[in-house]
């Protein structure tokens, strides 16, 4: 995930999702990931204190921004390439990624739960060829995994 000043997803020259300040979430389901994993990841993501407070310290979460009169957005984009294994040669292997059907099931669930838990949620389109435009704020980029 990346803390952004703005981000958008473009497919075939058309904006399909965009946010102002908030988090761009590049989501990858691995083999064995469950809906419980998605719940834990979303909970962590919404509470992670990576936004600046009045003193300039990373002390506010996306949820805290909502309480301050600001609305931090979530832009959720499926990205199975995060499962790439490059240890064996020059061509990445994606055998650790969930199957497309299972990946979409986890992605759709995660998006639905995010929409229930947070005000501003935008997405790309699962398995589409997307261009993601972003202004990374900080820059702050973190990889989240849950047990």
Ramachandran region, residue 13 (left: φ > 0; alpha: ψ -120 to 50; beta: rest): left
Q: Looking at the annotation, which residues are catalytic?
A: 79-81
Q: Are the C-beta atoms of residues 65 and 72 closer than 8 Å to each other? A: yes
Residues facing residue 122 across a β-bridge: 75
Element (DSSP H or E) covering residue 2? strand 2-11
């Amino acid at each position: 995930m990346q803390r952004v000043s703005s981000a958008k997803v473009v497919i075939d020259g058309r904006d399909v999702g965009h946010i102002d300040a908030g988090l761009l979430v590049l989501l990858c389901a691995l083999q064995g990931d469950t809906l419980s994993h998605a719940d834990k990841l979303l909970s962590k993501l919404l509470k992670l204190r990576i936004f600046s407070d009045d003193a300039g310290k990373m002390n506010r979460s996306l949820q805290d921004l909502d309480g301050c009169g600001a609305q931090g957005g979530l832009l959720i984009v499926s990205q199975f390439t995060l499962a790439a294994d490059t240890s064996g040669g020059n061509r990445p292997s994606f055998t650790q990624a969930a199957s497309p059907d299972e990946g979409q099931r986890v992605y759709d669930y995660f998006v639905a739960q995010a929409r229930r838990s947070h005000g501003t949620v935008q997405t790309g389109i699962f398995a589409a060829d997307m261009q993601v435009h972003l202004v990374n704020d900080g820059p702050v980029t973190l990889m989240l995994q849950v047990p």
